[in-house]
Amino acid sequence: MAKRIDAKNLNIYYGKFLAVSEVTFTIAPRSVTAFIGPSGCGKSTVLRTINRMHEVISGATVEGDLLLDGENIYGAGIDPVDVRRTIGMVFQRPNPFPTMSIYDNVVAGLKLQSGRLRKSELDETVERSLRGANLWEEVKSRLAKPGAGLSGGQQQRLCIARAIAVEPQVLLMDEPCSALDPISTLAIEDLIQTLKEKYTIVIVTHNMQQAARVSERTAFFNLAGVGKPGQLVEIDDTQKIFTNPTDQRTEDYISGRFG
């Protein structure tokens, strides 16, 4: 069920400001791809164009094609709401819905998308998703408690459970561990290894060790210069990026000689 992503000549704008220019890449199904690069180079922006979350910000637009198994998600007649049902997202800061219990948080996507569902189906989804997010054992006895009462790491796994409950094809993660301690980070990284068997995963991270640990492919983004748009410098196997990158700028960045 995982799908392949092809980006072709993406130009991403905030209003008239060109934030990222000419991004082209291919992401294979059932793989983990890491986006790395300095702050402000547009890696989160690129990530948000993959499920059309970019255009939620007023004035934000995208040019170019983004193909999901060959189908252009920016094509005419494509509803961004449908795109987001296929491509899930986990954010930097855990954001469970504060009015909902753990149970309701997990099924929020299902309930809000399609309305009435049988209780047994929901129960099944909750257990499967929480197990998938490696949280089931910790919360199974208190599913009716508020989701906001969990620890930060648990909340983030709850958000992952919520994202995979709607059975997306692709899972986007925007610095999912940056607000978490090392133990929770390890739990999420382990989880990513399990999730990639079913989903195509794209993860933005500032932590290069994390990129090296979890991903098979790594994309390095950089600013073309001060006041210029961000660009994709290179995308290659993680092994190669971290040991023998093609581009000098990549080597400078990962060896700390940046700027």
Partner 1 sequence: MTTVESAGSSLASPPGAGIRKVKDRTATTLVYAAFAIALVPLIWLLWTVVSKGIYMLTRNGWFTGTERGITYRDAGGGAWHAVLGTLEQVALCTAISVPIALLVAIYLVEYGRGPLARMTTFMVDILTGIPSIVAALFIYAVFITTFGGERSGWLVSLALVMLMIPVIVRTTEEMLKLVPNELREASYALGVPKWKTIVRIVLPTAMSGIVTGVVLGIARVAGETAPLLILVGYSPDKNANLFSGPQASLPGLIKDQFSNLGSTTILEGGKRVTVHYAADRMWGAALTLILLVMILNLAARVIARRSAVN
CB 204 within 8 A of CB 41: no
- 153 interacts with partner 1 by CB under 8 A: no
Task: Give dist(CA 200, CA 210) in Å, integer.
Answer: 17
CB of 48 to partner 1, least distance (A): 9
Q: How far is the CB of 135 from partner 1 (least distance, A)?
A: 17
Residues from 160 through 189 that contact partner 1 (CB under 8 A): 162-163, 166
| From 14, 146, 236, 252, residue interacting with partner 1 (rule: CB under 8 A) | 146
Task: Please report, to the nearest 10 degrees, the dihedral formed by the alpha carbons of residues 149, 207, 56, 72 taken in order.
Answer: -120
Q: Does 81 bind partner 1 (CB under 8 A)?
A: yes
Select the residue interacting with partner 1 from 149, 152, 248, 258 (CB under 8 A).
149
The one segment of 13-21, 130-138, 144-152, 210-218 that binds partner 1 by CB under 8 A? 144-152
- Nearest CA to 2 out of 24, 25, 32, 23 is that of 32
Residue 165 Cβ vs partner 1, minimum distance, rounded to whole Å: 9
Q: Tell me how many residues contact partner 1 (CB under 8 A).
A: 30
Out of 88, 153, 176, 229, the only residue in the binding site for partner 1 (CB under 8 A) is: 88
Using rule CB under 8 A, residue 58 touches partner 1: yes
Contacting residue, 20, 23, 53, 158, with partner 1 by CB under 8 A: 53
Is residue 31 at the binding interface for partner 1, with CB under 8 A as the rule? no
Instruction: Write each residue from 90 to 129 as x if it is in contact with partner 1 (CB under 8 A), else as -, in one continuous string.
Output: -x-x-xxxxx--------xx--xx----------------
Helices (H) and strands (E) in the chain, counts: 10, 10
Q: Residue 26 in contact with residue 5, Cβ under 8 Å? A: yes
When asked if residue 9 is in the footprint of partner 1 (CB under 8 A), the reply is: no
Alpha helices, H only, the chain: 43-50, 80-86, 102-114, 119-132, 136-139, 152-165, 182-195, 208-214, 238-243, 248-254
What is the smallest separation between the CB atom of 220 and partner 1, expressed in angstroms? 25
Q: Does 136 bind partner 1 (CB under 8 A)?
A: no
Q: How far is the CB of 156 from partner 1 (least distance, A)?
A: 12
| Residues from 216 through 255 that contact partner 1 (CB under 8 A) | none
How many angstroms separate the CA atoms of 30 and 198, rounded?
6
Count other Cβ atoms within 10 Å, centred on residue 158: 26
**Which residues, at least 6 apart from 13, have a Cβ–Cβ distance to it below 8 Å?**
19, 60, 61, 62, 63
Structure tokens given for 225: 């210069």
Rounded distance between C-alpha atoms, residue 42 and residue 165, angstroms: 29
Q: Which two tokens stand for residue 80?
A: 């961004």
Minimum CB distance to partner 1, residue 167 (Å): 11
Pair 96, 108: CB distance under 8 Å: no
Contact residues: partner 1, CB under 8 A:
51, 53, 56, 58, 81-86, 88-89, 91, 93, 95-99, 108-109, 112-113, 146, 148-149, 159, 162-163, 166
